[in-house]
Amino acid sequence: MRLVLAFATGAAASTSYLTWTADSFIQRGVKATKGYGEATIYEGYEAAYALTKNETYAEWYRGQIDDAVVLENGTIRDWKYDYYSLDDYRIGNNILWWYEHTHEAKYKQAADIIRAQLDRHPRTATGGFWHRQPVYPNQMWLDGIFMADSFYARWTRLFEPHNKTAWDDIARQFDNIDAHTRNRTTGLLVHGYDESKTAVWADPVTGAAPLVWSRAVGWYFMSLLEVIPQFPPLHPGRARLVKYFTTLAAGLKKAQDEKSGGWWLIMSEPYPGAPGNYIESSASAMFTFGWLKGMRLGLLSEREYLKPARKAYRGLVDQFVKENDDGTLYWEGTVKVGSLGSNGTYEYYISIPIVENDHRGAGPFMLAAYEMEKREG
């Protein structure tokens, strides 16, 4: 589907950073794939549609999913039934959004393919999903929680809401990652852990990675907010997840950079402010969004978090939003990638290039803008 768009772009034409970002990425084009980066920015379009009810956003978004991802027969284009990578499951959330909005069988069928893959996915001895087979055996990463467990919870809420075994299993993923990666002093979490303790970066006692990489923490923060509302209110796992969220929110408040309002790429001491470190835009957007949505859901105190959230949001706009010559918005300052398929050192993380208009940064910014604009009316 090719849409002819007649959006006004540019700061002077729009008071909404959400719609300005949405319009700008449509104008530049977003490759229609099932990758988790695209899945993340598509959530921004879900937010833009929720705020504006502009059907053009829905039409464009559907054009990114139909045939490119979900085929008419309910299968997923180029899906690998014997390839087990949590990153690939993130698109399931977007597929379920379309099922909830249309109730078309093909979306349910496509989501069921991913759900069945979870049943076959390799696990650690304690029941955690491997991040990927075969390259990351026995490893759980914060990223993987966002990639798989938000979908797992949403699918369960929609189709098997009384399946206690499934809810227990979802909670177990969070319990495992939190128990092995949380620093009890700072409240922050390192990037992941290796249950076998054999990875080059794994602590020989705990299996934990050495550093707090901000975007991984952001993925986890967002996933908690996605999963908590799905959980049965009386299931004991829900209270644990709320505690994980509020404890992390408090840790982020202590870690917020006073000058910029944002957060460093590597948040572990003594690296904030160190040569090569920088305020990173995707994580800063994720944390800002998390605080704002956490307040809206009643999980966080406005008295405690509204002022720093406003400061963080203003920092996003001032530091990372750029108006291009054609009036479109450019999103800057996003690190390209971060992986525990490395040695996990500070030198590794700061060596990764910064990229422009990355969907993993722009998507969370759209979500933060949605929360702020919904709040401000």
Please give the chain's pLDDT, 377 residues, in tens.
Answer: 333 343 444 553 457 999 999 999 999 999 999 999 999 999 999 999 999 999 999 999 999 999 999 999 999 999 999 999 999 999 999 999 999 999 999 999 999 999 999 999 999 999 999 999 999 999 999 999 999 999 999 999 999 999 999 999 999 999 999 999 999 999 999 999 999 999 999 999 999 999 999 999 999 999 999 999 999 999 999 999 999 999 999 999 999 999 999 999 999 999 999 999 999 999 999 999 999 999 999 999 999 999 999 999 999 999 999 999 999 999 999 999 999 999 999 999 999 999 999 999 999 999 999 999 999 97
Report yes or no on whether pTM surpasses 0.85: yes
pLDDT (0 to 100) of residue 97: 98
Rg (CA), the chain: 20
Strands 329-331 and 354-355: unpaired
| Nearest alpha carbon to residue 210 among 372, 44, 342, 299 | 342
pLDDT (0 to 100) of residue 3: 38
Which tokens go with 200?
């080059």
Which 3-state string (H, E, C) describes 37-101?
A: HHHHHHHHHHHHHHHHCCHHHHHHHHHHHECCCECCCCCECCCCCCCCEHHHHCHHHHHHHHHHH
Cβ neighbours of residue 49 closer than 8 Å, sequence gap 6 or more: 57, 58, 61
The helix-helix angle for 281-296 and 359-376 (nearest 10°) equals 30
Write out the H or E segment, with its range, that includes residue 334.
Answer: strand 334-335
pLDDT (0 to 100) of residue 10: 52
| Nearest alpha carbon to residue 320 among 263, 258, 249 | 263
Q: CB of 223 within 8 A of CB of 238?
A: no
Which tokens go with 142?
């914060």
Cβ neighbours of residue 307 closer than 8 Å, sequence gap 6 or more: none
Q: DSSP string of 92-157?
A: HHHHHHHHHHH--HHHHHHHHHHHHHHHHS-B-TTSPBPSBTTTBTTEEEHHHIIIIIHHHHHHHH
Tell me the residue type at 305: Y
